[in-house]
Amino acid sequence: MASSPAPAASTPGRLKGKRCIVTAAAQGIGRATALSFLREGASLVVAVDINKEKLKTLEGIPGIVTKNLDVRDGVGIRALAQEVKDIDVLFNCAGYVHQGCILSTTEEHWDFSFDVNVKSMYHFIQAFLPSMLEKRQGSIINMSSAASTLRGIEQRTVYGATKAAVIGLTKGVARDCVRNGVRCNVVCPAPVATESYKERCQDLEDSDKDHIEYIEGKLMGRLATPQEVANLCVYLASDEASYHTGNVFTIDGGFCL
C-alpha cells in the first residue's frame, strides 16, 4: 500500500525575518519551497525564473519579489546581488534533465547541462556568499538528485554527472565556510511528481515507461511530492539545522535502498 504524502510543515515561524532567494521558483520544487519559506515567516523571497508567464502567478503575493532571469547569466546574477542585499538563504534549485546515454550526448548537451545545473550555482554562490560571510550567517541549499554519486539512472549520463558535481561543489563551499557561520548542504531527491517530470514521462519510449512504473512501484509506492522536498528545504534553511553543513540529504522514499 502506498504511503500518504506529508502536508506542508505545520509550525510556521521557523524562518521568521529571513531574506531568501530561490531559483526555478515558478513551478515544481522551487515554487513549493518559495511558498513554504514565506509561510514559515520569511520577510522576503526573491523568486528567480526564466519563465516570465509562470512567474506572473507569484506576483502580488506579499513578501515575494519575482525576477525574470536565466541562471546562466552571470552578469545578471551579480546585478541582482547588488539589488537585493543581506540574503540569509540561497536555494539553488534550477536544473535541466537531459535524457540520453553517453553515446547520444552531444558536446552541446554536455555544456548546456553543466551551465544550467552547476555553473549557475557557481555564479549565485559567488554573488551572494560575500554578504553572508560579512554577517557570519547564511544557509545555502543546492539541488542535486538521486541520479548523482548515489545511483546511476538509465539515460541520464550527463544529468548524473552534473548532479554529482553539485555534491562536490557543496562540500567544497561548506569546508571553506565551516568556521564562518555559513552552512551549505545538498538535497538529492528521487523522482518527484512535478510538471516537468510528467512531461518527461510522456516523451519516453516504452522500455523507459516500464522503468517509471518500476520506480512508482518501489517501496513507498509513489513519487515524492514537491511539498515533501520543500519541507526538507525549510528545515535546512532554518536555524534548527545549525549543525548541518556539507551534508547530503537523500529524500527518496527508499529509491536508493
Tell me the C-alpha distance between 239 and 75, whole Å: 31
Please report, as residue ranges, which positions from 113 to 142 form the binding site for ligand NAD (by CB under 6 A): 116
Please report, as residue ranges, which positions from 46 to 75 form the binding site for ligand NAD (by CB under 6 A): 49-51, 54, 70-72
Contact 12, 41 (CB under 8 A): yes
Binding segment for ligand NAD (CB under 6 A), chosen from 56-64, 89-97, 130-138, 233-241, is 89-97
Site string for ligand NAD, 208-237 (x = CB under 6 A): ------------------x-----------
User: Using the rule CB under 6 A, is 160 a contact of ligand NAD?
Assistant: no
Q: How far is the CB of 201 from ligand NAD (least distance, A)?
A: 10
CB of 38 or CB of 118, closer to ligand NAD: 118
Q: How far is the CB of 112 from ligand NAD (least distance, A)?
A: 9
User: Using the rule CB under 6 A, is 165 a contact of ligand NAD?
Assistant: no
Number of residues that bind ligand NAD (CB under 6 A): 29
Q: Which of 14, 21, 28, 183 binds ligand NAD (CB under 6 A)?
A: 28
User: What positions carry a catalytic annotation?
Assistant: 159
Contact 249, 188 (CB under 8 A): yes
Q: How far is the CB of 69 from ligand NAD (least distance, A)?
A: 6
CB of 23 or CB of 66, closer to ligand NAD: 23
Q: 3-state SS string over the chain?
A: CCCCCCCCCCCCCCCCCCEEEEECCCCHHHHHHHHHHHHCCCCEEEEEECCHHHHHCCCCCCCEEEEECCCCCHHHHHHHHHHCCCCCEEEECCCCCCCECHHHCCHHHHHHHHHHHHHHHHHHHHHHHHHHHHHCCEEEEEECCCECCCECCCCEHHHHHHHHHHHHHHHHHHHHHCCCCEEEEEEEECCECCHHHHHHHHHCCHHHHHHHHHHHHCCCCCCECHHHHHHHHHHHHCHHHCCCCCCEEEECCCCCC
Contacts of 86 (CB under 8 A, 6+ apart): 19, 131, 135
Q: Which of 81, 148, 157, 189 binds ligand NAD (CB under 6 A)?
A: 189
Binding segment for ligand NAD (CB under 6 A), chosen from 38-46, 105-113, 190-198, 213-221, is 190-198
User: Using the rule CB under 6 A, is 194 a contact of ligand NAD?
Assistant: yes
Q: How far is the CB of 177 from ligand NAD (least distance, A)?
A: 22
Contact positions toward ligand NAD, by CB under 6 A?
23-24, 26-30, 49-51, 54, 70-72, 93-95, 97, 116, 143, 145, 189, 191-192, 194-197, 226
